[in-house]
Amino acid sequence: MQRRSFVAGTAVFAAGLAHLSSAQAAEAGVTDTEIVLGSSAVLSGPLGSQIKVVHNGAALAFDAINEQGGVGGRKIKLVALDDELKPEKAVENYGKLLNDHRVFAFFGCVGSGTTAAAAKLLQQSGAPSVGGYGVGDSARERVAGSAYFVRASNAREAQALVEHLSTIGVNKIAIAHLDNPGGVEAVKLIEAAMATHKQAPALVVSVKGDGSTSAAAGKMLADSQSQAVLMYLAGTVAGEVIKATYGAGSKPMFYGMSIVPGEVTAKVVQLQASGLAISQVTPYPWGEVESVTRDYRRLAERAQVPVGYGSFEGYLNALVMIEALKRTGRDLTRARLHATLRAFRLRLAGMDIDFSTGANAGSRFIEMVRVTPEGRFVR
């Protein structure tokens, strides 16, 4: 289903930023009737389906505000380009978005290596970036001052997962991670969290994002006889790894960082009794108490967008962007939006978001949920 808030395409390298004056940069992407945002993200392959869900969740919020006349009379348009999670492609996309599409700011960009590669372009343009997804902590530091991440840090997720396993007496732990910069960094964060409990991984196995090494990874995990497997895997890859581990005769407990899509995983593999638990960085999308959550579900059902953690995160990120634009006022400039974001505090769906401390992660929210064999989430 095509969402009207997004324009997808393939990037072609555009001219650099040298010809942009600071005045032009400040005015780019803002007219009397429109605010143009840009996103470089992986939108194809096994990982792309997950990101499209996040983007569709954001579109719910952008479409809703546009139906009400936009922000200060300006409707929001998001131009999204596929970078295939390749840093060089991401740099091309950022250049194209800045120079050809004349975006005012960035929203919902994805990936550690891709985000780090674009750090210089972000800094030179002065364009804020809000609501990045799947961006490791070190990449966040590379874009400090330019980017504002709503979700909790990977370090906090790793600590929460290891603390949980330690509490229930599990100490033989393996790690399965994507073979990319974010995955490598996640391993280091998990190892650091384990070290505080005087533990070390029983096995660390990398998995290619195209899923081609999932079977081999599953065999290695089974052979390690680990009690639990911590995963930094996305798209359908997590399910393929679990399926291969089961097929090799082992049924450990599986725990995922929040990039693991539980509902997708349950479609790929019939989860066994030991199941799958995930550290979620957004509140429960099926909650009844918060009006924001109820509004999200109503909009999702109307637009036929699946209700779940991925689309809910996109929706909440978009609400942060919308609120920041509102607070900045009619006289929109990149510098003014940065100033708004640096002082930004908001409670949203029961989650506190605060950039005023200088941290590049607005939220510290973590909640452990279990995925049922039917793909449902139980707190």
197, part of any domain: yes
**How high does pLDDT run on average in the chain?**
91
Phi, psi of 377 (to 5 degrees): -110, 135
Kindly state the average pLDDT of the residues 332-344. Answer: 97
Q: Are residues 254 and 331 in the same domain?
A: no
Question: Between residues 17 and 92, which one has the greater pLDDT?
Answer: 92
pTM: 0.86
As for how many domains the chain has, the answer is 2
Which candidate, 248, 245, 254, 247, places its Cα nearest to that of 274?
254
Pair of tokens at residue 31: 């007219």
Q: Are residues 220 and 315 in the same domain?
A: no
Q: Which residue's entry shows tokens 């949920």?
A: 369
Residue type for position 48: G
Phi, psi of 270 (to 5 degrees): -80, 105
Which candidate, 220, 210, 227, 239, places its Cα nearest to that of 371?
239
pLDDT in tens, 189-237: 999 999 999 999 999 999 998 999 999 999 999 999 999 999 999 989 9
Q: Are residues 272 and 306 in the same domain?
A: no
Q: Are residues 51 and 105 in the same domain?
A: yes
373, part of any domain: no
pLDDT in tens, 12-63: 333 344 334 333 434 699 999 999 999 999 999 888 988 999 999 999 999 9
Q: Are residues 231 and 274 in the same domain?
A: yes
Kindly state the average pLDDT of the residues 284-294. Answer: 96
327, part of any domain: yes
19, part of any domain: no
| pLDDT over 50 (residue 6) | no
Other CB atoms within 10 A of residue 342 CB: 14
Q: Are residues 147 and 291 in the same domain?
A: yes
Kindly state the average pLDDT of the residues 71-85. Answer: 97
pLDDT of the residue at 8: 39
Q: Which helix (H) or strand (E) segment is 49 a member of?
A: helix 45-67
340, part of any domain: yes
CA 185 → CA 274, 279, 340, 344, 360, distances in Å?
Answer: 27, 17, 31, 28, 17
Which candidate, 192, 276, 201, places its Cα nearest to that of 238?
276
Q: Residue 295's domain is classified under what CATH number?
A: 3.40.50.2300
Q: Which residue's entry shows tokens 């052979």?
A: 223
Domain-terminating residue out of 280, 309, 342: 280
- Domain of residue 198 covers 154-280
Phi, psi of 284 (to 5 degrees): -65, 120
Which letter does DSSP use for residue 278 in this model?
A: E
378, part of any domain: no
Q: Are residues 83 and 170 in the same domain?
A: no
239, part of any domain: yes
pLDDT of the residue at 273: 67
pLDDT of the residue at 46: 83
Domain-terminating residue out of 280, 306, 337: 280
Q: Are residues 132 and 232 in the same domain?
A: no
Q: Are residues 335 and 300 in the same domain?
A: yes
pLDDT of the residue at 375: 83
CA 330 → CA 31, 102, 146, 147, 337, distances in Å?
Answer: 11, 19, 21, 22, 11
Kindly state the average pLDDT of the residues 151-161. Answer: 95
15, part of any domain: no
Domain-terminating residue out of 246, 280, 314: 280
Pair of tokens at residue 96: 């194209």
- Rounded CA gap, 62 and 266, in Å? 30
Q: Are residues 304 and 340 in the same domain?
A: yes
pLDDT of the residue at 208: 95
Q: Are residues 215 and 325 in the same domain?
A: no
Q: Are residues 254 and 167 in the same domain?
A: yes
